[in-house]
């Protein structure tokens, strides 16, 4: 079974621009969650999508948004990029939403904001 895939793997943007990241979950997984990883803060939960609806949200500003399509693929958007948004953005998919242990991570998209 193919794992979680994320595209693109690397992105370079400038301040003020916006960016869209994509995540394809493991086949059959309907829950997709997004995490931001930075050296100082580690991995922090952004939001979770299930059945095309955002179900849970972490403590991030409204510039961070996402959506999920009927095939469970998800996109994450960051508008008005700031230098501090430079991070590795990880997507995780799961079949059983009730067990955090069953989240499987993709390789991430490394975003650099100049």
Partner 1 sequence: QKEVEQDPGPLSVPEGAIVSLNCTYSNSAFQYFMWYRQYSRKGPELLMYTYSSGNKEDGRFTAQVDKSSKYISLFIRDSQPSDSATYLCAMSGKGVTGFQKLVFGTGTRLLVSP
The residue ranges that bind partner 1 (CB under 8 A) are: 4, 31, 33, 35, 40-45, 48, 50, 55-56, 58, 90, 92, 97-101, 103-108, 110
Identify the burial level of 97 via C-beta atoms within 10 angstroms of its C-beta, where 0-12 means exposed, 13-18 middle and 19 or more buried. middle
CB-nearer residue toward partner 1: 75 or 102: 102
Question: Under a CB-based contact definition with an 8 Å cutoff, are residues 100 and 48 in contact?
Answer: no
Q: Rounded to the nearest whole angstrom, what is the least distance from the CB of residue 16 to partner 1 in the complex? A: 27
Q: Rounded to the nearest whole angstrom, what is the least distance from the CB of residue 109 to partner 1 in the complex? A: 10
CB-nearer residue toward partner 1: 17 or 30: 30
Enumerate residues 6+ apart whose C-beta is below 8 A from 28. 95
Q: Rounded to the nearest whole angstrom, what is the least distance from the CB of residue 43 to partner 1 in the complex? A: 4
Report the candidate in 84, 112, 114 with the shortest Cα–Cα distance to residue 21: 112
Whole-angstrom Cα distance, residue 2 to residue 102?
Answer: 16
Q: Rounded to the nearest whole angstrom, what is the least distance from the CB of residue 84 to partner 1 in the complex? A: 16
101's tokens: 């242990």
CB-nearer residue toward partner 1: 65 or 79: 65
CB-nearer residue toward partner 1: 20 or 44: 44
Whole-angstrom Cα distance, residue 61 to residue 46?
Answer: 10
């Amino acid at each position: 079974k193919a794992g979680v895939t994320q595209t693109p793997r690397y992105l370079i943007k400038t301040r003020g621009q916006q960016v869209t990241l994509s995540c394809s979950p493991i086949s059959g997984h309907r829950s997709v969650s997004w995490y931001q990883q930075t050296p100082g803060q580690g991995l922090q939960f952004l939001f979770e999508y299930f059945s095309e609806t955002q179900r849970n949200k972490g403590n991030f500003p409204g510039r961070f948004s996402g959506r999920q399509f009927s095939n469970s693929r998800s996109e994450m958007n960051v508008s008005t990029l700031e230098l501090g948004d430079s991070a590795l953005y990880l997507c995780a998919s799961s079949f059983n939403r009730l067990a955090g242990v069953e989240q499987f991570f993709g390789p991430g998209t490394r975003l650099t904001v100049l």
